[in-house]
Amino acid sequence: MIRKITSLFLLAATFIACSKNPITGRNQAHLVSEAELQAMATQQYRQFLSENRVVSASADRDAEMVRRVGQRVANAITKYLRDNGQANMVDGYKWEFNLVQSNDANAWCMPGGKVVVYTGLLPITQNEAALAMVMGHEIAHAVLLHGNERMSQGLLQQLGGVALAVAVSNRPAETQNLFLNAYGVGSQVGVLLPFSRKQELEADRYGMIWGAMAGYNPREAIALWQRM
Q: What is the dihedral of CA 189, 191, 197, 198, to 10 degrees?
A: -10
In the residue annotation, 138 being an active-site residue is answered as yes
- The rounded distance, in Å, linking the Cα atoms of 104 and 187 is 9
Burial class (CB in 10 A: 0-12, 13-18, 19+), 184: buried
- Give me the catalytic one of 96, 128, 138, 149: 138
End-to-end CA distance of the chain: 47
Q: Is 113 left (phi over 0), alpha (psi -120 to 50) or beta?
A: left
Q: What angle do CA 216, 217, 221 make, to 5 degrees?
A: 110
Query: Across-strand partners of 99?
Result: 55, 117
- The rounded distance, in Å, linking the Cα atoms of 210 and 198 is 18
Catalytic residues: 138
